[in-house]
Every structure is written in C-alpha cells, then in structure tokens.
A = this chain, B = another copy of it.
C-alpha cells in the first residue's frame, strides 16, 4: 500500500501548483494527477454539478490504485469534500483547511481578505473554517471570476489584469487587511503581480505549501509514506487534451511533465 501512488485532482491544471509543492516535500511519492479540462471551470457551476464531477474524478483515481487523494481545487473542496470523505474509505484531503492554517500562521493576523471563484465564495467554506480556528477574525470575501481566464491567457502583467485587480481588491485594501488568502489553485501564478500591486504590509497566503505539509503529516500518521528508494514519478491525465492545456501544465510545474494522457471518465 505504501508504494501506491497519491491521487490529485482539479477542474483543470491549476492544481499542479499543489503537486509542485508536494513533489518538493515528498520527492519519493508517485503521483497520478487528473485535470478535468473537458469540463473546466468548476468555479462558475452549481454545487450539485460540482459534487457529481468530483465523485467521477475520485472514481478515476481509485481505478488507478491510489492510496490517498488530494482535492487540489478550492471549489471542489468547498462543495464536495465532506460527501466524498463519507462515501469513500481512503484518506481524502482538501485545500481549505491548509489555507486557513496558513492564513493564521502569523498570530497577529486579525483581518483576512479572501479571493476565490464564485463557487468557493458562495459556499462560505473559508468563512466557516476561519471562524472555527480563531474568534473575532474580520473577513472580506471577494469572488474574482476573471482571474482564472486571465491567468490561463498568460496576461499576468496586462492592463486588463490590473483593471480586474483594482475592482476585486481596492475595496478590501481600503478597509484594511493583514493577509490575502489566494483561495484558488490558479492564483499562485499571480503572486509576482500581487506583490507589486498590493501594499507591502499585506501578507500573501497560498495554500499549496501548507497543503503539502498537511499531506505529509497525514501520510506519516497513517504509516503510508513511500519507503521505496526510487524517486517519485508524475503521471498527468486530462479529460481534454489541447496544446493550450499542455503549455499551461508546463508553466505550473518546476520540471517538464512527461507524456500527458487523455482520461475518459
């Protein structure tokens, strides 16, 4: 069982930012990644549809013999995590708990801004998770539906991105925040832009690294760490193969991925 691969899934290729963090922390683990690019995005769709898609994603990973699953997608975590944990027996982790822990890692953090897809914001999953961890937190939630298409277009430094960021972030910056939680696995690619866009004293919080740490702790606790001496491999499966997604996948990873396969769910 320990030598079985880890499964990761996301609506698209954004979840590879979490895979990248996991590869650094758990270099011996084999990873199977599923990106549901034929139906991307999930963030604008209804909870019921997202739950149905997420269940099919889990079934696909199970058919590849994974020992644990990471939902590397905030929208799917927000709407489907509890249902999936009830329905399936293997360990399933989401990204929200890790994001919240990362946001509160600095004890002086009292005012947190959250940007995410419309689906994640509507679920109020971050609000609930933050309130459970710490009382008296001031939260500003903002759905930012244009950021994923802008990032996928590689318009990281385009005036359209600048204009969208003003609309999304100016109101919460004016009210005052200590940290900004990037609650979508696509957003880490915007970090350089956000660092120049936001006042210096606002801490940027990205859940990829804390999610990988959480995963390592869980695998250790459950005695599931791979003890093979071989370096881990990465297999990427996408439900739609297109040049654009393959190029995007390369931008999200530190090392070029091998041959990407087409998955049929």
Copies of this protein, total: 2
Residues of B within 8 A of A155 (CB): 146
Provided the pairs A38-B45, A39-B39, A118-B244 are in contact, do residues A160 and B167 lie with their beta carbons within 8 angstroms? yes
Whether A240 contacts B167 by the Cβ 8 Å rule is no
Interface size class of A (residues with CB under 8 A): 20 to 34
Cβ of A220 within 8 Å of any chain B Cβ, yes or no, is no
Residues of B within 8 A of A239 (CB): 49
A247 to chain B, nearest CB (A): 12
Residues facing B in A99-152 (CB within 8 A) are 118, 145-146, 149-150, 152
Provided the pairs A146-B160, A160-B163 are in contact, do residues A49 and B38 lie with their beta carbons within 8 angstroms? yes
Whether A240 contacts B49 by the Cβ 8 Å rule is yes
Cβ of A241 within 8 Å of any chain B Cβ, yes or no, is yes
Contact of A145 (CB < 8 Å), options: B39, B153, B163, B166: B153
Residues of B within 8 A of A240 (CB): 45-46, 49
Residues of B within 8 A of A241 (CB): 46
A79 to chain B, nearest CB (A): 12
Whether A163 contacts B153 by the Cβ 8 Å rule is no
Contact of A163 (CB < 8 Å), options: B44, B45, B53, B158: B158
Cβ of A159 within 8 Å of any chain B Cβ, yes or no, is yes
Whether B242 contacts A45 by the Cβ 8 Å rule is yes
Residues of B within 8 A of A39 (CB): 38-39
User: 4 new A-B pairs (CB below 8 Å) besides A145-B152, A159-B163?
Assistant: A45-B242, A46-B240, A146-B150, A146-B160
The 22 listed contacts between A and B (C-beta, < 8 Å) are A37-B45, A38-B49, A44-B242, A45-B240, A45-B242, A46-B240, A49-B239, A145-B153, A146-B146, A146-B149, A146-B150, A146-B153, A146-B155, A146-B160, A149-B149, A158-B167, A159-B159, A159-B160, A159-B163, A159-B166, A160-B160, A160-B161
